[in-house]
Amino acid sequence: MIEVNPDFERLRTALLCREPDRVPLAELKVEEEIKSKFLGRPMRDPKEDPEGYIRDEIEFALKAGYDYIRVGVISPIPMPGKTVEGEYGADGSVRARRWAEQKVGFIRDEDDLEKLDFTIDQFDFTLLEIASRLVPPELKILTAVKGGGIFERTWMSMGFENFCINLIERPRLVEEVFRRIGELYLQAYEKAAEYPNVAGFWIGDDLAYSEGLMVSPEVYRRHLFPFYEAVGDLCRRRDMVFIFHTDGRVWEILEDLIGLGIHALHPIEPKAMDIAEVRERTRGRLCLIGNIDLSYTLTRGTPREVEEEVKERIRTLAPGGGYCVGSSNSITEYVPLENFNAMRWAVFKYGRYPIEI
């Protein structure tokens, strides 16, 4: 019988581009529906029973084989968008999804900047405080502000079309929105780092489509990356890990991301970037997480196909360390449970060092 044996030092070792005892499992997110099916009972609601919810998160991590729990800090900044119901479950079940506003957000001009008059005291650290008390010694906490990163929250506050127009017509407005949100988020990360058992940040901030960046690299370099460089400095001072999630094709800013001080990049979408080429360019400097195909293998493939894809990623990417198995985005509610389990068990079966497959 294979032992799951969670241990945060395994993940930390891989993130530092060294070989742990086996390849870690790592996901930005596993949807509540999957966790509930895996545990055989509904996950408790984080709003109605926050301590019960954290206990469920811990139980899931320990049983599924993850070496950490990811616990979010809740931002007071509103997220404009539209809620749409659809058949998103693997079993055809109906649920609501919220989609970001593309046209106009709540910041349209300089007069609207007062709507960003938030303080760090308005951020909600409840779940993080509970998790820091309850997490067992073998696990640690990775955290981030929920609901998107600094870039996502900036353009969402304006609507993407309005944001892009204002990059040309009102550049100072864009700069000020970036500054206000970025400084707030930095305060949140500094406060989060003080909680016991917080070992690092896993920040999600989508910067690219599968074909290329969402905006010019210079926009990121001028307005965004200085804030994430400060997060990297914070991690170095406190000996914490820094994982960065962005979908899409990021070749143009790959070296910039490494320069921020991140330890790992997630999820290396197969349709956007060849993970073998990413490994060749970044070996020893950057841990890679993910790449197990969500568009077919995990969602529509067979458990056998999942096993074979995981086996191949481990064979080609894991030797020498610096690779964690995970999906090419997150474990969505439409991933069949048997495929999720096939991915896990393939890691336990083939991922022990030294890699001999």
Please state, for a pLDDT cut of 70, what percent of the chain lies above it.
97
| Res 86: pLDDT | 63
- Is 48 contained in some domain? yes
Please state, for a pLDDT cut of 90, what percent of the chain lies above it.
91
What DSSP character marks residue 208? B
Strand, coil or helix: 73: strand
Label residue 87 by pLDDT band (50, 70, 90): low
- Is 293 contained in some domain? yes
| Res 104: pLDDT | 79
| Res 102: pLDDT | 80
**What's the whole-number mean pLDDT along residues 241-252?**
98
- Is 3 contained in some domain? no
- Is 310 contained in some domain? yes
- Is 290 contained in some domain? yes
| Res 89: pLDDT | 56
d(CA 333, CA 303): 16
- Is 357 contained in some domain? no
| Res 46: pLDDT | 98
* pLDDT over 60 (residue 90): no
Task: Measure Cα distances from 259 to 30, 227, 253, 263, 265 in Å.
Answer: 29, 12, 10, 10, 12
Strand, coil or helix: 272: coil
Do 81 and 89 meet the contact criterion of CB atoms below 8 Å apart? Answer: no
Tens of pLDDT, residues 92-103: 666 677 777 688
- Is 355 contained in some domain? no
H or E stretch covering 86: strand 81-87
Strand, coil or helix: 241: strand
| Res 94: pLDDT | 63
Question: Residues with Cβ < 8 Å from 57, sequence gap 6 or more?
Answer: 35, 69, 71, 131
Tens of pLDDT, residues 261-291: 999 999 999 999 999 999 999 999 999 999 9
d(CA 38, CA 60): 8
**What's the whole-number mean pLDDT along residues 281-309?**
98
Do 135 and 196 meet the contact criterion of CB atoms below 8 Å apart? Answer: no
Q: Supply the range of the domain harboring residue 206.
A: 8-350
| Res 355: pLDDT | 97
At position 14, the amino acid (one-letter code) is: A
Tens of pLDDT, residues 115-164: 999 999 999 999 999 999 999 999 999 999 998 999 999 999 999 999 99
Q: How many helices (H) and strands (E) does the chain have?
A: 14, 9
Give how many domains the chain has, as a whole number: 1
| Res 214: pLDDT | 98
| Res 287: pLDDT | 99
Tens of pLDDT, residues 26-77: 999 999 999 999 999 999 999 999 999 999 999 999 999 999 999 999 999 9
| Res 91: pLDDT | 60
Label residue 84 by pLDDT band (50, 70, 90): confident
- Is 356 contained in some domain? no
Q: What is the CATH number of the domain that holds 135?
A: 3.20.20.210
Question: Residues with Cβ < 8 Å from 250, sequence gap 6 or more?
Answer: 207, 208, 213, 257, 265, 272, 273
Asked if the bond preceding 354 is cis, omega within 30° of 0, the reply is yes
